[in-house]
Amino acid sequence: MYGNSNQPIIVLKEGTERTKDREAQFNNIAAAKAVADAVRSTLGPKGMDKMLVNTIGDVIITNDGVTILKEIDVQHPAAKMVVEVAKTQDTECGDGTTTSVVLAGELLKQSEELINSNVHPTVITSGFNMAAVKANEILREIATDADSDEMLKKVAITSLTGKSVGEEEDALADITVKACKAVAEDDKVDTKNIRVQKKVGGVIGDTEIIKGVVIDKEAVHSRMPKKVVDAKIALFECSLEVKKTEFDAQIQISDPSKMSMFLDEEEKSLKAIVDNIKATGANVVFSSKGVDELVQHYMAKAGILGYRRCKQSDLEAISKATGAKIVGGSMELTADDLGHAGLVEEKLVGEDGMAFITECKNPKAITIFVRGGTEHVLEEVERALNDAVRTVGVTIEDGKVVAGAGAAEIEIGQKLREYAASVGGREQLAIERFAKAMEIVPRALAENAGVDSIDSIIKLKNAHDKHKDGKNYGLDLETGEAVDMFERNVIEPLRVKTQAINSANEVANMILKIDDVIAARRSAPPQGAPGMDGMGGMPPGMM
């Protein structure tokens, strides 16, 4: 900037980068499109997987959109905003993460052409908002009631299809529906109460639902029983040891007999802990902290099965499954605090022992125990099950579903074009572009399946116009033909679609409204930090 005397007036700090107007808009749009393109090839049952290797060499193989975007270290601020769309979609619905990102990228691509035609970004955002509201209305009109377990199972199969679960979609879908129904209360499903516990070994088909909890722990003492029928369970949030003092203390003993008395007193206090546990009737103990060796010995002698250093989440799950109360003091346990399970058993799974707490009367927490050949397979099955559990959960809560495979998107596109003609003004152009952007989902599905995307879109549009139930016609990825997706059992929850459209619209509008990007220069890392030569850094030649 220059003043009256042509002297430069420095407003921004030296090294600050600034891009303005169209350059800023197009840079942001390009970054967002790059993120969308990165995950576009993973969309649908025929989508490809990505292999991600992090800085310490850990490998993740997945086609789950949100997992890919979380693992990629995105730098551009506009690209980060698109990644947030996937995270929100995952939190709200569990599925549809790739759809929401691809849709956001396509909305921005369509808006780029409008900006080039001198349509102001404010007009575009106004049109997009009108289109999003109308799209939600259309979705509610075409939605069908999900009123049976069979429908829930179809939703689960649709979510699992294309994930690396082999031919086990049907069995895993059954498990998912049973799990969601077991923890559902008043048409609300708290999916945190469905734990996914995994262990390498066996095959995916060995995955089972446990009406209770599985803990990856072994008993603290080898002489403890391996199986307890009619288990009365005590949960401790404290260590079962002699209490340590808050401050350092020294005890000086001059008489050897006093030493013996001191040790006897310590032993008495430890035995009192076990006596109290025994007196309440408890025969299984879980502690989140340590268990003294002497306490272990007395518990084994009394036939009590004990586990130590359990996670807080494990204790909470056992509490929900068995009705046990978590106790904060080793001497505070009473009979009222105990939970009940028909069976607590330690089983050898592979080389490790695991505690199975089963036959719980009315468990509010249950476990899906996943098996698989390798760690990578297990992780992908876990991600697939988490997605399926969330989608079935939101279907139970909302009770509404729509046809998948691009059926809903094509119907929205068709109806939005009719709506655009009734709006008039420049917003009409934006609504038409929004309608065109909706086609990206069936187009990407077709591309990933290796069928002609242009022919497929034309067939879908014709089917939606001609057939009585045209709204349910989606893309058959084997043939490229338009078929009724309710007959093919490709069904998705209504919330997955509404959330994807709303969040994609919001992020597109936010990026379009940015016309000035001012980026401060990054400060250099301190001397000796990782990545620098010198103390603590990488050796020369390792960069």
One-letter identity of residue 457? I
**Whose CA is closest to 95, among 66, 69, 68, 61?**
66
Active site residue 99: no
Catalytic residue among 42, 98, 367, 498: 98
Catalytic residue among 314, 387, 476, 484: 387
Q: Helix H segments across 373-522?
A: 375-398, 407-423, 427-438, 440-449, 453-466, 494-512
Active site residue 98: yes
Report d(CA 511, CA 503) in Å as an integer: 12
**Whose CA is closest to 517, among 9, 4, 27?**
27
DSSP character at residue 41: T
Tally the C-alpha atoms within 13 A of residue 115's C-alpha that lie toward its C-beta.
21
Q: Are strands 144-145 and 400-403 parallel, antiparallel or unpaired?
A: antiparallel
**Whose CA is closest to 29, among 42, 41, 19?**
19
Residue 405 tokens read as 């495979």
Question: What are the DSSP calls for 168-200, one per residue?
Answer: -HHHHHHHHHHHHHHHEETTEE-GGGEEEEEEE
Residue 305 tokens read as 């099965």
Q: Which helix (H) or strand (E) is 349 found in, with range? A: strand 339-349
Active site residue 387: yes
Please give the backbone phi and psi of residue 391, each rounded to the nearest 5 degrees, phi first.
-65, -40
Active site residues: 64, 97-98, 387
